[in-house]
């Protein structure tokens, strides 16, 4: 299947462009609950209606892009980015709006969302992937040196999801990747993921 191609999506954006907005802060006053945004737990019901994220002085860039790089392992996307997902994704995703403030605490944009795909998708081929396992908890993954997707499992994969057992990693399908390209999105960095050799 030519369309069965998948890509890992980076939350970091372009590390070489200092002009871009890069966020280290979470939702103001909502730090404990914000952890859920990196793990795929639902937290929209508790999300503040006047949610705010403040830029920090360590990252002086203010240029906006469809995906805002951040150090929190979350997807922060513009309204256009959200619309692209809504067009192609049938799985449950929370889109949580917030106001972005600049370094002087002035409103910089009201056009962004924390994008939280709920749950994870079982996709790893454990035989062909190279995985670091925890010595004390043998079932716990410490890191994945080489991720190989299970070809059989991917036949039912959504176009955007978190990896089961590695929920801070995000995967984009070819259909959605084409949409990003058609919209000429900037600051999107991805790498194609190999599929297992089995049919």
Element (H, E) at 179: helix 174-182
Q: In the chain, what percentage of residues exceed pLDDT 90? A: 78
pTM of the entire structure? 0.92
**Domain extents in the chain:** 6-122+150-192
Q: Is the pLDDT of residue 37 over 70?
A: no
Q: Is the pLDDT of residue 35 over 70?
A: no
Mean pLDDT of the chain: 92
Question: Average pLDDT for residues 82-111, to the nearest whole number?
Answer: 97
State the number of CA atoms in the 13 A half-sphere of 108 facing the CB: 19
Q: Is the pLDDT of residue 1 over 50?
A: no
First CA to last CA across the chain, in angstroms? 11
* Exposed e or buried b per residue across 122-159, where buried means at least 16 C-beta atoms within 10 angstroms of its C-beta: ebbbeebbebeeeeeeeeebeebeebbbbbebbeebbb
Give 140's contacts (C-beta < 8 A, 6+ positions apart): 133, 134
d(CA 130, CA 90): 30
d(CA 134, CA 37): 24
Angle of CA points 36, 33, 101, to nearest 5°: 100
155-197: pLDDT as tens digits: 999 999 999 999 999 999 999 999 999 999 999 999 999 999 8
Ordered alpha helix ranges (H), 22-133: 31-34, 79-88
114-171: pLDDT as tens digits: 999 999 999 999 999 999 998 998 888 899 999 999 999 999 999 999 999 999 999 9
């Amino acid at each position: 299947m030519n369309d069965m191609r998948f890509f890992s999506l980076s939350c970091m954006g372009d590390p070489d462009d200092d002009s871009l907005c890069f966020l280290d802060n979470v939702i103001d006053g909502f730090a404990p609950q914000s952890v859920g945004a990196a793990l795929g737990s639902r937290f929209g019901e508790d999300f503040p209606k006047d949610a705010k994220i403040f830029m920090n002085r360590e990252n002086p860039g203010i240029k906006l892009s469809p995906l805002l790089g951040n150090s929190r392992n979350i997807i922060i996307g513009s309204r256009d980015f959200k619309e692209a997902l809504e067009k192609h994704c049938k799985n449950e995703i929370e889109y949580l709006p917030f106001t972005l403030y600049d370094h002087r605490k002035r409103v910089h944009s009201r056009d962004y969302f924390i994008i939280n795909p709920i749950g994870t998708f079982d996709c790893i081929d454990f035989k062909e992937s190279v995985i670091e396992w925890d010595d004390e908890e043998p079932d716990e993954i410490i890191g994945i040196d080489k991720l190989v997707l299970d070809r059989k499992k991917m036949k039912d994969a959504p176009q955007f999801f978190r990896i089961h057992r590695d929920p801070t990693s995000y995967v984009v399908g070819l259909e959605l990747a084409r949409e990003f390209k058609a919209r000429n999105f900037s600051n999107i960095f991805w790498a194609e993921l190999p599929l297992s050799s089995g049919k």
